[in-house]
Chains A and B, each alone.
Chain A
């Protein structure tokens, strides 16, 4: 598949909003940015005054031809890069961005299959982009999200996902703390949860799974046990446990 040239761009932070106590949405103005598909990511490079560089990958929350690029970063307390992006980067500051990157973990409105999205924690970012692309394209392909998170306070983009509930509905799953009145106790996603909250193999869905490495592997195995074809499951591991 042809792709636009991948290059390094300079992005200057034009908007920053806190999403939760530990996560922040960062929008960069990126002159020359060729636009991006839903699910693509950037490599973000920081250079310290002594020349030391650190590069990390971040999914792109925004979609389409716009030259404003939105990322959403979760702070890992011991991390080298993420605490800086969440706590210290200020509007007007610049970073280097390489992209748009990736073609496998991408949803295109031309895909005919129904779509199941499964997110663990900040793994929701590229999947949110897919719901945005679905909305922008006025797609009629069924698309639904299963979003696993520790506590209700950890939800990224809750309002936006809820506003989209009639076209791309979200099933919320809590592993540590549930909201008041919730009928399901907090706990890990079980095979039964997966079965009841995802599109079954008979519907021939394309399933995107994203989150911490351990989450992705457990869910992917669970989907195969439910009878999904391995090639109908697309995974993206963010690292960690």
Chain B
């Protein structure tokens, strides 16, 4: 399956974000690109979500949802305020 984008994270990330995940902005620590989560590229759905930078393709964060438990592994992302 080809990749999706960060819109698909709205559900899985809803438990981790106090506000709307897809309009939350983040900065890639590799290339400094700033984008909303919706604009990131997402691989591996719906088994898990490998979130990659739209600019440099680096892995930003990995989200897995299993038995109602959501885990997040931050790789190379700085969360900024919401848009």
Starting from the known contacts A56-B46, A105-B22, 14 additional A-B residue pairs (CB-CB under 8 Å) come to A1-B82, A3-B19, A41-B7, A41-B10, A43-B11, A98-B11, A102-B20, A104-B39, A104-B83, A213-B2, A213-B3, A214-B2, A234-B38, A239-B1
A-B residue pairs in contact (CB < 8 Å), sample of 27: A1-B19, A3-B19, A6-B10, A6-B11, A6-B14, A41-B7, A41-B10, A43-B12, A54-B46, A55-B46, A57-B7, A57-B46, A101-B10, A101-B11, A101-B14, A102-B7, A102-B20, A103-B10, A103-B20, A103-B23, A104-B37, A105-B7, A234-B38, A235-B5, A236-B5, A238-B4, A239-B45
Residue total for B at the interface (Cβ-Cβ under 8 A): 24
Answer yes or no: A227 CB below 8 A from chain B CBs. no
B8 and A2 contact, CB distance less than 8 A: no
Q: How extensive is the interface on chain A, given as a class? A: 20 to 34
Select one of B14, B19, B38 contacting A104, CB under 8 A.
B38
B11 touches which of A2, A99, A237, A240 (Cβ 8 Å): A99
Contact string against A for B residues 10-51, beta-carbon threshold 8 Å, 1 for contact and 0 otherwise: 111010000110110000000000001111000001100000
A240–B19 touching, CB < 8 Å = no
CB-CB under 8 A from A99, the residues of chain B are 11
Which of A41, A43, A102, A241 has most chain B Cβ within 10 Å? A102
B7, B12, B19, most chain A CB atoms within 10 A? B7
